[in-house]
Amino acid sequence: MTDGVLADRELRRAVAEGWIRAVEPVADAQFQPASLDLRLGPVGYQLRASFLPFRQTVQSRLGEDLAQSDLVIDRVSLESGATLQRGSVYLVPLLESLALPPHVRGRSNPKSTTGRLDIFTRVISDGTPRFDEIRAGYRGGLYLEVSPQSFPVRVHAGASLNQLRLLTGQTAMSDAELERTYRETPLLYDDAGRPIPVERAVFNDGLCMGVDLSGVRTGGIIGYRAQPNPPAVDLARVDHYDPAEFWEPIKRPAHDAYILEANRFYILVSKERIRVPPEFAAEMVVYDAGAGEIRTHYAGFFDPGFGFGDGSVLGTRVVMEVRAREVPFMVYDGQTSFKVWFERLRGRPERVYGVGLGSSYQHQTLTLSKQFRRPAEG
């Protein structure tokens, strides 16, 4: 079997052949160019703490009698919707389960909207000592840990907060392969639509990208900081909320540097525009934990065609979900803040991001999640 990430046509085949199973039929809208949206089941559990099952099943760790469980605080019905509170930890069995062949493994990531709302989510699978990774040949259920951080959020059964990729063999591209690809098809562009020369690109176990504090294309606004005591956000409401109730705009600093407050959540944007050709999938990953006391992303998958579309899109800015850790941290305009892994696909997808799909963020600059009414952009 060829190495690579499974594209949409193979994901459909995986459903047909029973590798991916579901309590309710998998809907067409769940299939993305190189991932499958996973759906919340009808019941969740509020927990005392996060956990990993290690060698156990998730159900055995929770306990057969939930009333006697040392982890479960309460049972939460999602059938008519429920509001999940900030700082609490919830576990929701997903509608999808897996029966993977021995050569196929999985990896999960939050959807873009999930990350931009500062909802911390991770997939847990039976007998697995790591979050968001599903071992090759896994057979069993999938569970989503959900912990809203900045906003109370209202969710319903069937909502999708996370995505699943299936992979076989060696999928990641080396820096040398990535540089060769860049020379043939530039992957980074500036705001004028000009490719950034490969000599200026930085390859360090992925393609490095920086933060934009200029505010040139966003009316002098460089980002947003979450308000400290906001109302709840219903994920089902699109283009509904006034951003001012939830976000504080951050004006361009005077000296090309900005101090992030400790334990506050920010939305910032990349300096460069990225382009993901349809033959590849990509993932945003941490640049270097030793390079700064910030977490620079929650949602990491870029679908084939992001910033590319039908070939006419000359790159798209990357929105960064940023949280400073224990201490305030100063960031500089253009400072490297994250990197992007590129992975080979096993085959070209039937549909690419932004072409024939409801793609919310193909032409984004500094863009909040789709639940908020979009302010005018410069």
> Kind of pairing, strands 336-344 and 207-210?
antiparallel
The reply to whether 189 falls in a domain is yes
* Residue 127 sits in the same domain as residue 148: yes
* Residue 139 sits in the same domain as residue 187: no
The reply to whether 353 falls in a domain is no
Q: Are 163 and 32 in contact (CB under 8 A)?
A: yes
* Residue 257 sits in the same domain as residue 318: yes
Q: What is the CATH number of the domain that holds 293?
A: 2.70.40.10
Q: How confident is the model at residue 69 (pLDDT cuts 50, 70, 90)?
A: confident
Which candidate, 22, 32, 84, 26, places its Cα nearest to that of 299? 32
Q: From CA 306, how far away is CA 313, in angstroms rounded?
A: 9
- Residue-wise pLDDT for 312-364, tens only, equals 889 999 999 998 878 899 999 999 989 999 999 999 999 988 765 555 555 56
The pLDDT, as a whole number, for residue 346 is 95
* Stretch 122-147: mean pLDDT: 96
Q: How confident is the model at residue 377 (pLDDT cuts 50, 70, 90)?
A: very low
The pLDDT, as a whole number, for residue 376 is 53
Q: From CA 30, how far away is CA 254, in angstroms rounded?
A: 44
The pLDDT, as a whole number, for residue 374 is 80
Q: What residues make up the domain containing 283?
A: 175-344
The pLDDT, as a whole number, for residue 68 is 77
* Stretch 359-378: mean pLDDT: 71
Q: From CA 245, how far away is CA 227, in angstroms rounded?
A: 7
Angle among Cα 137, 141, 142 to the nearest 5 degrees reads: 100
* Residue 227 sits in the same domain as residue 89: no
* Residue 163 sits in the same domain as residue 298: no
* Residue 152 sits in the same domain as residue 216: no
H-assigned helices in 25-86:
58-62
Count of the separate structural domains present in the chain: 2
**In Å, what is the CA distance from 158 to each residue of 57, 79, 131, 213, 238?**
23, 9, 22, 38, 16
* Residue 93 sits in the same domain as residue 193: no
pLDDT at 306 over 60: yes
Which candidate, 151, 362, 374, 136, places its Cα nearest to that of 246? 151
Q: Are 337 and 293 in contact (CB under 8 A)?
A: no
- Residue-wise pLDDT for 251-301, tens only, equals 999 889 999 999 999 999 999 999 999 999 999 987 665 655 566 656 689
Tokens of 44: 């969740």
Which candidate, 110, 108, 123, places its Cα nearest to that of 153? 110
Tokens of 201: 């690109």
Q: Are 162 and 93 in contact (CB under 8 A)?
A: no
Can you point out the beta strands (E) in 219-335? Answer: 221-226, 233-234, 247-251, 257-260, 265-274, 280-286, 294-295, 301-302, 316-324, 329-332
The pLDDT, as a whole number, for residue 217 is 84
* Stretch 193-217: mean pLDDT: 94
- Residue-wise pLDDT for 26-65, tens only, equals 999 999 999 999 999 999 999 999 999 888 899 988 887 7
- Residue-wise pLDDT for 223-244, tens only, equals 999 999 999 999 999 999 999 9
Give the helix/strand (H/E) hosting 73: strand 72-77
pLDDT at 378 over 50: no
3-state secondary structure of 245: helix
Q: Are 101 and 95 in contact (CB under 8 A)?
A: no
* Backbone region of residue 38 per phi and psi (left: phi > 0; alpha: psi in -120 to 50; beta: other values): beta
Contacts of 199 (CB under 8 A, 6+ apart): none
* Residue 31 sits in the same domain as residue 91: yes
